[in-house]
Amino acid sequence: MIRKERAAFVQRRLQELYPETPIPLDHTDPYTLLVAVLLSAQCTDARVNTVTPALFSLADNPADMAGKTAAQVEKIVKPCGLAPRKSKAIVELSAILVDQYGGEVPRDLEALEQLPGVGHKTASVVVSQAFGVPAFPVDTHIHRCAQRWGLTAGRNVVHTERDLKKLFDASVWNRLHLQIIFYGREYCTARGCNGLVCEICRTCYPRRKTPPVVNGA
């Protein structure tokens, strides 16, 4: 298979496996999604979902959250890891949303990236999942899967995101991002598949005998 053929197979098979793509982080609006995605850095979605009910009971909108202290937030989000940094960012970005955006989460990727604690991947998730703006957030595991499947030779997530956006039509980016996450968690895990085990790896490279070298993952 050439790269375009592998991409077509991946898209078709993932659509068969995951025709529905529910957002794995519990939220009620763009603001609660933004906070949940921020908390998910170096933390599982499942753990975030156990923490956010108490956090959003404390404050579930920018105005209320801006009135809390980082210490109050940190006490709740500690199980997510990096709690001092994340709690400070949540309070600070909430104040910025109130002061500069009328308490609303901006739909603009660059504006989101300027908020404390919000990097490109977090901003991409928010614009795609909260507002339906085409984006292709790439985390370490999507990067790993894309390399195993021969969809990129990128040495980092930035390069991989660029390659995936070239391979797939923008109309499927948002859905495909989640489908790769679902498949990666179920079949092409970091330790459960070394590029030789799962269906997609074996179909894309039926003659592969040794695990591929995965760069930057």
**Percentage of residues in the chain with pLDDT exceeding 90?**
95
Q: Residue type for 71, please?
A: A
Question: Is pLDDT at 188 greater than 80 in this prediction?
Answer: yes
Q: Which CATH architecture fits 3-21+136-204? A: Orthogonal Bundle (1.10)
Catalytic residue, chosen from 45, 139, 163, 166, is 139
With beta carbons less than 8 A apart as the criterion, state whether 121 and 139 touch: yes
Q: Does domain 30-131 have CATH number 1.10.340.30?
A: yes
Question: Is pLDDT at 217 greater than 80 in this prediction?
Answer: no
pLDDT on residue 65: 98
pLDDT on residue 161: 97
pLDDT on residue 79: 97
Catalytic residue, chosen from 121, 163, 166, 209, is 121
Helix residue ranges per DSSP H, 40-172: 45-58, 62-66, 70-77, 83-101, 109-113, 120-131, 140-148, 157-167
Residue 169 falls in the annotated catalytic set: no
Assign 73 to helix, strand or coil: helix
- Give the mean pLDDT of the chain: 96
Residue 209 falls in the annotated catalytic set: no
Question: Is pLDDT at 112 greater than 70 in this prediction?
Answer: yes
Q: Residue type for 193, please?
A: C
State the Cα–Cα distance between residues 124 and 139, nearest whole angstrom.
Answer: 11
**Would 3-21+136-204 and 30-131 be classified into the same CATH topology?**
no
Q: Name the pTM for this structure.
A: 0.93
Q: Is residue 128 classed exposed, middle or buried when 0-12, 13-18 and 19+ CB atoms within 10 A define those classes?
A: buried
Assign 107 to helix, strand or coil: coil
State the Cα–Cα distance between residues 60 and 217, nearest whole angstrom.
Answer: 34
Q: How confident is the model over 142-174, as pLDDT tens digits?
A: 999 999 999 999 889 999 999 999 999 999 999
pLDDT on residue 215: 79
Min mean pLDDT across 9-18, 110-119, 152-161 is at: 152-161
Q: Where are the domains of the chain?
A: 3-21+136-204, 30-131
Question: Is pLDDT at 53 greater than 80 in this prediction?
Answer: yes
In this structure, how many other beta carbons lie within 10 angstroms of the beta carbon of residue 8? 14
Question: Is pLDDT at 11 greater than 90 in this prediction?
Answer: yes
Assign 188 to helix, strand or coil: coil
State the Cα–Cα distance between residues 184 and 198, nearest whole angstrom.
Answer: 10
pLDDT on residue 214: 83
With beta carbons less than 8 A apart as the criterion, state whether 139 and 157 touch: yes
pLDDT on residue 154: 86
- Average pLDDT over every residue of 187-213: 95
Two structure tokens written together for 190: 């970091």
State the Cα–Cα distance between residues 142 and 180, nearest whole angstrom.
Answer: 6
Q: Which of 144, 163, 152, 148 is nearest to 208 (CA)?
A: 148
